[in-house]
Copies of this chain bind each other. A is one copy, B any other.
Amino acid sequence: MPQVDTARFLADLHELRKIGTFKTGVHRPTYSPEDMESRRWLMAKMQEIGLEPVMDGVGNVIGRHKGPGPHLLVGSHIESQNEAGWLDGALGVVAGLALARAGLPVDVAAWADEEGHYGGFIGSRSFIGELEEAEIDRLANRYHGKPLRQALREAGLEGRPRIQWEKGRHKGFLEIHIEQGTQLESAGLRVGVVTGIVAIRQWKLVFTGMQDHAGGTTMAERRDAGLSAVRLLAEIDRNFPLVCGPRSTWTTGRMTLEPGAASIIPGRAEVLFQLRDVEEPIIARMEDRLRALVQESNRREKCPCALEAVSLSTPALCDPTMQQALCEAAEAKAPGAWQSMPSGAGHDAQYLARIMPAAMLFTPSIGGISHHWAEDTKEEDLALGAEVLAEGAARYLAA
């Protein structure tokens, strides 16, 4: 079984943390000078380990193993959310280096823009052949509006070829990532073997009422779009527990009443609503109930509600054989201190899963903090995660 140099692995993580340091975290937005510096740092590390590094036309860095296969592809992303944590993404990339250093036949990848500064998952989508030039033309930075093309030019990536997957080269893709929740911590566990990455169904609910003076309009006369929204959200709150699965989540992240003044009855209300689950039949049940509740609202309320799909992703199930190898590795390295669990957040693995077997490991997040510079994980958990990943990779390669 492979021996991971965990001291070296942790040292690499701390070295990378120094690029774009922000408080105890990092600020490395996609294609920023700090992000590009981290990609060059990664290439140097790959070289040192004996991998053949390339940076491609969207910034993906891939370090190719020189020996014979079968190979695994291991990685995650290296850029960060703004002023965010040091491990989110970086952990999976640096763990890939650790596996390579331990002699495993792995290609290591850092996928660009998983964090969605420009589009989300640009790198992994490009690699699997699901990012068209026309989309690159269209995308722009969500915070400051810089066109993606301009960002690529300024980062020196313009004109470079984009690398796509080589059919048959990889037996699977592995990604280790921080949990970004408190489930492992709450249960006192140290490793999570991911069963799948949830589908996220995002909807916009738009209620149309009649904007009116809050003093001059009687309750009976009103068409209060905000009130119709509140009533529907209260129904969702009562109804969804009857149709959801054990791990389903649903969230109203934004709600806007227009015009939004104290003395004006809202003429329009807009609600951003999403639901997540890893199982299609459960998602279908929740979506059916959502549609039924909207229909019921439209039958009862004076303010019609339009249900608009914003984005409808599908669940990405982790490969059973790879999961099995990771479970055995977890039980070998951390007996009784691991569990299987879905990933509520999206990860590069969900795109790689479209072209090859894929699986993921989770390592605990202290206090569940994520997308914040205070994000952290105990060093012994990081080291254990890398060891379980290496052991699982070896078992899967041998299977």
Q: Which residues of A contact B (CB under 8 A)?
A: 179-183, 186, 198, 200, 202, 212-219, 221, 224, 226-227, 230-231, 233-234, 237, 241, 244, 247-257, 260-266, 272, 274, 276, 310, 343-346, 365, 368, 370-371
CB distance from A159 to the nearest CB of B (A): 34
Contact A252:B230 (CB < 8 A) given known A212-B368, A370-B216: yes
The answer, among B214, B231, B247, B255, for a CB contact under 8 Å with A251, is B214
A262 touches B272 (CB 8 A): yes
Measured between beta carbons, the chain B residues less than 8 angstroms from A226 are 252-253, 255
A218-B198 Cα distance, complex, nearest whole Å: 13
Measured between beta carbons, the chain B residues less than 8 angstroms from A231 are 234, 237
CB distance from A82 to the nearest CB of B (A): 13
Most B-side CB within 10 Å, residue of A254, A256, A260, A261: A254
Given A218-B247, A251-B265, 20 new contacts (CB under 8 A): A179-B216, A180-B215, A181-B218, A200-B263, A213-B370, A214-B276, A215-B345, A224-B251, A224-B252, A226-B253, A227-B252, A230-B237, A253-B260, A253-B262, A253-B263, A253-B265, A254-B257, A254-B260, A255-B255, A262-B272
A214 touches B249 (CB 8 A): yes
A217 touches B249 (CB 8 A): yes
A186-B310 Cα distance, complex, nearest whole Å: 40
A263 touches B237 (CB 8 A): no
CB distance from A206 to the nearest CB of B (A): 15
A67-B253 Cα distance, complex, nearest whole Å: 66
A237-B300 Cα distance, complex, nearest whole Å: 15
Measured between beta carbons, the chain B residues less than 8 angstroms from A233 are 227, 230, 234
Contact A217:B182 (CB < 8 A) given known A226-B252, A226-B255, A251-B224: yes
A263 touches B274 (CB 8 A): yes
Measured between beta carbons, the chain B residues less than 8 angstroms from A344 are 213-217
B261 touches A215 (CB 8 A): no
CB distance from A66 to the nearest CB of B (A): 38
B215 touches A200 (CB 8 A): yes
CB distance from A235 to the nearest CB of B (A): 9
B227 touches A237 (CB 8 A): yes
Q: Quick one: closest B residue to A246, CB to CB?
A: B218
A51-B189 Cα distance, complex, nearest whole Å: 87
Q: Quick one: closest B residue to A183, CB to CB?
A: B218
A200-B263 Cα distance, complex, nearest whole Å: 9
A365-B180 Cα distance, complex, nearest whole Å: 56
A212-B214 Cα distance, complex, nearest whole Å: 35
A215-B183 Cα distance, complex, nearest whole Å: 12
